[in-house]
Structure 1
Amino acid sequence: MNSPLPLPQQFLSDAPLGTRVVVRYRVDGGLTDALGELVGRAGGECTVRTRRSDVVIALPLVVAAKAVPPAPPRRAQRLEAS
């Protein structure tokens, strides 16, 4: 028998800082995702460092969360032939 998956809030509370995660959470008008490194937890919130900025998410708004593999290396910029 498989054990049930942890609630997303429990996962975020237990995951080691530095884990790459994707977090789906409620915002006005729907849902959105944050993809990046879990860098903080405090006071019922978690912080995910995305490519653009740190995103602070209230844990009660989280509907899904999981660890994801490391980002693939960025491709080198192509040079245009002249």
Structure 2
Amino acid sequence: MQTPADLLATLPLGTRVVVRRRTGEGFADSLGDLVALDASSCTVRTRSRGDDVVMLGDITAARTVPPAPPRRSPRRPPTGDGRVRG
């Protein structure tokens, strides 16, 4: 059976992944692009936290995920006359 670390080792850098790891309080997920991998850790570039370094020994699950949807443009405030700007 393939371990999560073995799966990560087969993926090209830039692949979008989710990695679950053990923490002191339970578990945490890192969702983003796999940007680095060595013998002891991997780095996932997330939108919210930036580069997240995860020790391979702490990983309990990993998988590839589809590309992120495009970000929505910000909503514009109403014009004050009942119409919404477009």
Shared fold by TM > 0.5? yes
Q: Show structure 2 runs of 5+ residues with no match.
A: 81-86
Q: Identity of paired residues, percent?
A: 50
Secondary structure of 1:74's match? coil
Show structure 1 runs of 4+ deviating over 2 A. none
Measured on the aligned residues, the alpha-carbon RMSD in Å equals 1.0
CA deviation after TM superposition for structure 1 residue 43, in Å: 3.3
5 Å-filtered alignment, 1:1-82, equals 4=1, 6-51=2-47, 52-81=49-78, 82=80
Give the number of the structure whose alpha-carbon radius of gyration is greater. Answer: 2
Secondary structure of 1:36's match? strand
Give me the whole-angstrom Cα distance separating, in 2, the residues matched to 1:43 and 1:12.
Answer: 11
Give me the whole-angstrom Cα distance separating, in 2, the residues matched to 1:67 and 1:11.
Answer: 9
Secondary structure of 2:72's match? coil
Cα deviations across residues 16-46 of structure 1 (Å, max 9, x unaligned)? 1000000000111100000000000123100
Match of 2:84 in 1: none
- In the comparison of the two structures, how many residue pairs are matched? 78
Give me the whole-angstrom Cα distance separating, in 1, the residues matched to 2:56 and 2:12.
Answer: 16
Q: Show structure 1 runs of 5+ residues with no match.
A: none
